[in-house]
A = this chain, B = another copy of it.
Amino acid sequence: MKHQEIRITREELERFCSAVFSKLGLSQADAQTAARVLVAADVRGIPSHGVARLRRYVNGLQTGLMRADAEPRVVAESPASIVVDAGGAMGAPVSVQTMQRVIAKAREAGSAFGTVRDSNHFGIAGYYAMLALAEDMIGIAMSNTAALGVPTFGRQVMFGTNPLAFAAPADRHRAFVLDMSTTAVPRGKVEVYARKSEEMPAGWAVDRDGRPTTDAASLLQDMFKRVGGGLLPLGGVGEEHGGHKGYGLAVMVDVLCALLSGGPFGTAVFDTAESSARVSHFFGAIRIDRFRDPGEFRRDMDRMLEQLSQCPPAAGQERVFFAGQKEFEHEAECVRTGVPLMADTYAELEKIGCELRVARV
């Protein structure tokens, strides 16, 4: 049975989330930014990172795990770099501000990078990478997360799902936007199978002994109790299919986010009732015109993206996509017909609206 779906305009949804964040103490500007990033996930067809998470943000702000009154402070700065201590703030506003500063620095320096420490979940990494596109820059964004991933040949979680995003502008096409976790799958996919009490595909996770497992429910319990087991890196178990590469990419993200900012890394990043995960982020921007004419670059990007789209599909498949293409198509549909929300997500938003006395969407 298909779940009932409700469609709401992007603007309405942003207004509601912004009002919720304002009620919980965020400045108007920060509330709007946080709402925009959150809704962008639903608009791009990534509901796992969208308004379905609003309850967690509400909880975080109400309990103080996310500090509404945090004042992020710059702890190091140069013409091409910046390090920000978010002081336990929400992830999205400090991330947008930092990426904007990185872009401003790159305008002068050609390229620039910024890191943020003591932050919180920042939503979709692609949002920040894409801020560089309008400037004819390549955009980069990464974050470490609570440790959920097990290294190749290991049995204990040692790193997060550590997403990385990379955006490059095109001309007729919108852009190439890669936005991926560096584990084979994020935890959310395992949770879906646990809820349905179904076996999950092999190659996603290992159990407490480090052996491949398809038992989603036991895995989540073992991960919760930290007795071993966790998600496999991109490439799966062992080295035969390149699991050590995904493991390496996850650690690379941790190095750029946490080691370059002085934040906690590896197993020190985890959620408890007393503290947020205290995640770190990494942002970068590179001016294209320092290498070649941006117009030529964008037209070559068009040619590349068209060639990829025109790759003959495999038997039984209809289309070949490039990274970001599905998301842009989803966005275009949302502009026409509104942003789709599952009925239970919508009900939760209504509940939050009632509790906080914010006019419902």
Q: A110 and B236 in contact (CB under 8 A), knowing A154-B320, A155-B311, A211-B315?
A: no
A81 to chain B, nearest CB (A): 4
User: Is the C-beta of A209 less than 8 angstroms from some C-beta in chain B?
Assistant: yes
Q: Is A345 an interface residue (CB 8 A)?
A: no
CA distance A266 to B302 in the complex (A): 12
- Interface set, chain A 189-247, CB cutoff 8 A to B: 201, 203-204, 206, 209-211, 228, 234-236, 240-242, 244-247
B115/A112 in contact, CB under 8 A: no
Scoring A78, A244, A314 by chain B CB atoms within 10 A of each residue's CB, the highest score goes to A314
Q: Which B residues are in CB contact (< 8 Å) with A296?
A: 262
Known: A153-B314, A168-B259, A266-B307. A234 touches B245 (CB 8 A): yes
- Indicate how many identical chains form the complex: 2
B241, B292, B312: the one contacting A204 at CB < 8 Å is B241
A333 within 8 Å of B (CB atoms) = no
Chain B residue contacts of A166, Cβ below 8 A: 248, 252, 255
Contact of A260 among B209, B246, B288 (CB under 8 A): B288
Contact A259 B313 (CB under 8 A): no
> Does the CB pair B111–A113 fall under 8 Å?
yes
Residues from 277 to 326 in A contacting B, C-beta threshold 8 Å: 286-288, 290-292, 296-297, 300-301, 304, 307-308, 311-315, 317-323
Chain B residues with CB under 8 A of A131: none
Partner of A76, one of B80, B246, B292: B292
* Interface hit among A10-18, A60-68, A177-185: A177-185
Select A115's contact among B83, B113, B291, B319, beta carbons within 8 Å.
B291
A80 lies within 8 A of B304 (CB): no
Are B153 and A255 neighbours in the complex by a CB distance under 8 Å? no
Interface centre among A76, A111, A180 (most CB of B within 10 A): A111
A252 to B81 CA separation, bound complex (whole angstroms): 23
Check A178–B252 contact: CB distance below 8 A: yes
When distances are taken between beta carbons in the complex, the residues of chain B under 8 Å from A185 are 241-242
Residues of B close to A168: CB separation below 8 A = 252, 255, 259
The 26 listed contacts between A and B (C-beta, < 8 Å) are A78-B290, A80-B109, A83-B292, A109-B109, A109-B110, A110-B112, A111-B111, A111-B112, A113-B291, A151-B322, A152-B320, A154-B311, A154-B314, A155-B311, A158-B308, A178-B245, A184-B241, A185-B241, A201-B241, A203-B241, A235-B246, A254-B304, A255-B304, A259-B297, A260-B291, A265-B300
Give A contacts to B, CB under 8 Å. Answer: 76, 78-81, 83, 109-113, 115, 138, 150-156, 158, 166, 168, 176, 178, 180-182, 184-185, 201, 203-204, 206, 209-211, 228, 234-236, 240-242, 244-249, 251-252, 254-256, 259-262, 265-267, 286-288, 290-292, 296-297, 300-301, 304, 307-308, 311-315, 317-323
